């Protein structure tokens, strides 16, 4: 049974359709230059925007890529490599694995009868991002354990650094790349396909604005981004990404069940001249 709030929302969108205005015997306003299908498209676009409300928590995790993980590499044995060289693993993994996912993994899942929908991919991206942070937290623990400077590993200068090989970081970068494939790329696709043509720039802007919010939220965690609290930093990011992934799926599971119905909405018409 639908709740009162759901009924109210449904009534609002139904009443906004020109056919229902005419059916009630009311005169159609001059500004109502759209058809019923366009109203359904707008409703679908706004639903897409509601999904993006959770993305700041994902980007909060992703932003560890180019700051804290680069600093972490400097506390390990780099064997002459620049400490930011491993950050190139992320785009390299994207170049390698995006075609693999598109050509083999996704079609293979469809052949097995597994509906790995866009919202499931986005949720998987949150969990993969959480796994990347767990990897970084465990690695940071062992850096503190093996560094000559203990819990102040950043104070040690080469060659007096942790003997751990910097390439152990690869797991975090590759997992972050997987999370981008699942969450970021799919999010862009979801934003573009769910909005009517004249709203696509707005929906894309909402999606990208989430990254700006994440940067602002990141300021709240600056105190954790230094020794001896870096294990807590990565662990906190992992917990936030994991819990937000669960809450995200709980909030969109009903929307996911109507994915095919939303995708099959035909293109509406809006007379922009008026």
pLDDT, one tens digit for every residue, the chain (274 residues): 444 444 456 666 666 677 776 677 667 777 677 767 777 777 777 777 788 888 999 998 888 887 789 889 999 998 888 888 888 999 999 999 999 999 999 999 999 999 898 899 999 999 999 999 999 999 999 999 999 999 999 888 878 899 999 999 999 999 999 999 999 999 888 877 777 676 778 777 888 888 889 888 888 888 888 999 999 999 999 999 999 999 999 988 888 777 666 655 566 666 655 5
Residue 132 pLDDT? 95
Whether 223 and 84 have beta carbons less than 8 Å apart is answered as no
Residue 30 lies in a domain: no
Residue 7 lies in a domain: no
Residue 91 pLDDT? 92
Residue 175 lies in a domain: yes
Residue 242 pLDDT? 95
Tell me, what CATH number does 249's domain have? 1.20.1250.20
Query: What residues have CB less than 8 Å from 112, skipping those under 6 apart?
Result: none
Residue 7 pLDDT? 47
The CA dihedral of 224, 50, 192, 36, to the nearest 10 degrees, is: -170
Nearest to 120 by CA among 261, 248, 237, 262: 248
Residue 1 lies in a domain: no
- Token pair 């509406």 is found at 268
Residue 94 pLDDT? 94
First to last CA, the chain: 40
CA distance 121 to 180: 10
Residue 107 lies in a domain: yes
Residue 44 pLDDT? 74
Whether 226 and 128 have beta carbons less than 8 Å apart is answered as no
Residue 244 pLDDT? 94
Q: What pTM was computed for the model?
A: 0.84
Residue 272 pLDDT? 59
Residue 80 pLDDT? 84
Tell me how many domains the chain contains: 1
Residue 4 pLDDT? 44
Residue 165 lies in a domain: yes
Structural domain range at position 85: 41-263
């Amino acid at each position: 049974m639908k709740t009162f709030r759901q009924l109210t929302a449904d009534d609002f969108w139904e009443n906004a359709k020109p056919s229902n205005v005419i059916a009630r015997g009311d005169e159609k306003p001059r500004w109502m230059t759209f058809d019923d299908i366009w109203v359904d498209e707008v409703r679908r676009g706004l639903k897409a925007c509601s999904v993006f409300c959770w993305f700041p928590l994902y980007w909060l995790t992703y932003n560890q890529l180019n700051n804290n993980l680069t600093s972490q590499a400097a506390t390990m044995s780099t064997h002459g490599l620049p400490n930011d060289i491993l950050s190139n693993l992320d785009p390299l993994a994207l170049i390698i694995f995006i075609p693999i996912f598109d050509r083999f993994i996704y079609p293979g899942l469809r052949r097995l009868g597994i509906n790995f929908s866009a919202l499931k991919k986005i949720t998987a991206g949150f969990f993969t991002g959480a796994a990347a942070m767990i990897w970084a937290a465990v690695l940071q623990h062992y850096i503190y354990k093996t560094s000559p400077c203990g819990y102040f590993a950043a104070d040690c200068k080469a060659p007096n650094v942790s003997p751990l090989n910097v390439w152990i970081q690869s797991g975090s970068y590759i997992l972050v790349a997987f999370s981008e494939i699942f969450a970021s790329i799919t999010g862009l696709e979801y934003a573009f396909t769910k909005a009517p043509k004249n709203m696509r720039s707005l929906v894309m802007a909402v999606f990208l604005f989430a990254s700006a919010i994440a940067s602002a939220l990141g300021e709240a965690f600056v105190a954790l981004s230094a020794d001896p609290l870096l294990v807590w930093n990565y662990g906190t990011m992992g917990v936030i990404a994991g819990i937000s992934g669960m809450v995200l799926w709980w909030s969109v599971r009903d929307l996911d069940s109507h994915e095919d119905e939303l995708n099959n909405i035909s293109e509406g018409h809006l007379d922009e001249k008026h």
